[in-house]
A = this chain, B = another copy of it.
Amino acid sequence: MVCDPKRGFSLDPRLAIIPAPMPPVAASQRTSVLTPDARALLERRARRLRRMSVIATTEAGSGHPSTCLSAADLVAVLFFREMRLSVADANDPANDRLVLSKGHAAPLLYAAWAQLGVLKEEELGTLRRLTSPLEGHPTPNFPRSEAATGSLGQGLSIGLGMAVANRLDKSQGRTFVLLGDGEMAEGSVWEAASLAALIKADRLVALVDVNGLGQSQRTARGHDTAWYARVFEAFGWRAVEVDGHDLDAVAQALESTRQSDGRPVALLARTLKGQGISWMADQDNWHGKPVPADKLASALAELGMGEDGSKPLPVHVPATPTPCQPSPKAGTLETDPPYKTGEKVATRNAYGAALARLGAADARIMGLDGDTKNSTMSLDFMKAFPDRFVECFIAEQNMVGVAVGLAARGRVPFGSTFAAFLTRAYDFVRMAAVGKANLKLCGSHCGVSIGEDGASQMGLEDLAMMRAVSGSVVLYPSDAVSTERLVREAAGHDGVVYLRSTRPAVPVLYPASERFPLGGSKLLKSSPEDKVTVVAAGITLHEALAAHAELAKAGIPVRVIDAYSVKPLDAVGIAKSLSATAGKLVVAEDHYPEGGLGEAVMGALPAQVKAFRHLAVRGMPRSGAPAELLARHGLDAKAIVKAVRELVSAT
């Protein structure tokens, strides 16, 4: 994608349409795509997939066999006829890939990989056990998962991210996403569909398993594949309706996705949930229920016994993919950030500049935004690296999903929007953590300090939200130097990292050579006589420094700590200051009181705190000038001075 300054991406045909490796299938060939032998083998493989899915879930005592049965024929043709990939090298960028968006069909995925030889069929007997890599929904514990799924409606975004990476790698690999029809109700699917059509992600294929049944009732559209086809087409896709249990039809439809007219392709496959077992097929109340042990024999009999049933099939060797260029390698940036102490720079501006500089040193860095790039300042990165920037428009879920897909393909994606609007994508961030995705997010315009736009635009729960993501790192820089350093730290850390940036310009506090390791803090002010420890970050750190100056004049020395690493928190460093100040603590944060910096400190240092004043945004904020709002919510220097004085006089 080359950037068009007005549209944020290009439709450059050299990049958009990669020639397909095989010639298109003529309409006259429709009934003869499969030879009788090939068809017979695919039938056996599909039967085997069903059998293994049913046995594994019955042995586990839980799981979703019925949803495996509806998709088994699609998966059989996909894996054992259509996909080209190196089984030995899962990371080959030339590979075709499958993202299992309907993650509850995990046993089917595991059964397919068993036929490709990467696990033994017996291992399916460990499904859902504490010690097994084969979890109830796919996770990185099974390395061929491609993505953690199980929260529905996320796979298409992730697949789109992978397709974008493939385009950059000049890979001819196709990205298949298997979706359930129930999850088509998630708007995030249509966010992905819209962007995919717009950027002509022609090597992205959505396979929709339209089995017509949700968890608790019929889906909204039942078996109306034409409805799904109309919507996909309206969004700009090519849509193909197919009988999802007709192997010939599926093979022909999948083969047709090799050719490109520039549009991504959606296959709407009419299927039956539970197909292959007469008393389960198309019946309600079989979602998430294994075949009872006493019915297993009858189920297996229907699925086919004898040689086809009990004996494993020979390992399938997929066609070799067309080689492509390797994905970019990591690079590092050694120069100091170009800031002088005292100059005024908003941390959001420092973020954009840092990203652009880092991008020059490390070709893996990518930028994404939700049409706020001139506020988050990811615009600076787009200007420098238009071909590595994806404008996702106002669709934060898809932005995060695309980033997760890019990360899965070796990129280091930084997605940015207002901190408030990242709440939109919380489920995607949560799932990124489940998938151990190397995802970086920046939320700008945090706190009441944004001022007049009012509460809807203020990020006030982002620290709570991001801290509660398993294994996450949460960073909150206070000046331009720390912002740039922390952007680099974020890029160097493998995992989910969140960086919170601020709207107003603030003075640079640190010399350019200062380092900001994850898990650290900075003791900005200290003396042997300090009475109180003041912990702050971001905008409130500047208020704390002003309070320090005022208190110094009044003869009340206090320590001031910059807690730039909110998670992991520098508990050891803060504890040292607390013991030097008789356990007296003030925490000031431009965030709601729950789950932010104050509770992080309290949770980490339970016995060390003897007296505590927690300055945070209490009550609903509103429109007003930034300084007025900091005062109204008790976060300014005056409020910090007051809190310190209370703690001192309480002695």
Contacts and interface: CB of A to CB of B under 8 A. Distances in A.
Interface of A: 5-8, 60-63, 103, 128-130, 132, 135-137, 139, 141, 148-153, 182-183, 185-191, 194-195, 198, 214-220, 227, 230-231, 233-235, 284, 369, 371-375, 379, 391-395, 397-398, 420-421, 423-424, 426-427, 430-431, 433-434, 451-457, 460-461, 464-465, 467-471, 567, 585, 592-596, 598-600, 602-603, 606-607, 609-612, 614, 617, 619-620, 622-625, 628-629, 632
A234 B148 CA distance: 31
A216 B379 CA distance: 9
Contacts of A392: 185
Nearest to A465: B465
A628 B130 contact: yes
A443 to B, nearest CB: 12
- Most chain B CB within 10 A, of A373, A394, A433, A609, is at A394
A80 to B, nearest CB: 27
15 contacts: A62-B451, A63-B452, A136-B623, A149-B456, A150-B456, A182-B393, A185-B392, A186-B395, A220-B393, A233-B234, A426-B465, A470-B619, A595-B595, A599-B602, A606-B612
Contact of A231 (B152, B215, B235): B235
Contact of A190 (B103, B190, B603): B190
Contact of A625 (B130, B191, B198): B130
A623 B600 CA distance: 29
A141 B622 contact: yes
B606 A603 contact: no
A135 B325 CA distance: 53
Given A234-B231, A420-B151, A620-B434, A393 B214 contact: yes
B369 A216 contact: yes
Contacts of A397: 187, 424
Contacts of A195: 220
Nearest to A149: B456
B622 A135 contact: yes
Contacts of A391: 216-217
A607 B603 CA distance: 12
B464 A470 contact: no
A154 to B, nearest CB: 10
A187 B374 CA distance: 23
Contacts of A139: 454-456, 622
- Most chain B CB within 10 A, of A215, A452, A623, is at A623
B217 A137 contact: no
Given A129-B624, A186-B187, A595 B103 contact: no
A18 B32 CA distance: 53
The 5 closest A-B pairs by CB, nearest first: A187-B187, A150-B456, A595-B595, A130-B624, A606-B612
Given A8-B217, A434-B455, 20 more contacts: A7-B217, A62-B452, A130-B628, A132-B623, A135-B454, A137-B454, A139-B456, A186-B187, A187-B190, A216-B391, A227-B234, A397-B424, A423-B426, A423-B430, A426-B426, A464-B464, A464-B467, A464-B595, A595-B595, A607-B612
A403 B234 CA distance: 29
A223 to B, nearest CB: 13
B60 A452 contact: yes
B6 A217 contact: yes
Contacts of A186: 187, 191, 394-395, 424
Contacts of A431: 456
A470 B230 contact: no
Given A151-B424, A231-B234, A620 B433 contact: yes
A557 B162 CA distance: 57
A194 B198 contact: no
- Most chain B CB within 10 A, of A132, A190, A398, is at A190
Nearest to A583: B607
A379 B467 CA distance: 34
A189 B136 CA distance: 31
B594 A567 contact: yes
A395 B187 CA distance: 7
Nearest to A232: B234
Contacts of A219: 371, 393
Contacts of A373: 216
A59 to B, nearest CB: 12
Contact of A594 (B153, B451, B600): B600
Contacts of A128: 452, 454, 623-624
Contact of A136 (B151, B424, B453): B453
A568 to B, nearest CB: 11
Contact of A5 (B217, B235, B623): B217
A67 to B, nearest CB: 13
A545 to B, nearest CB: 24
B611 A606 contact: yes
Contacts of A231: 231, 234-235
A6 B214 CA distance: 10
A394 B602 contact: no
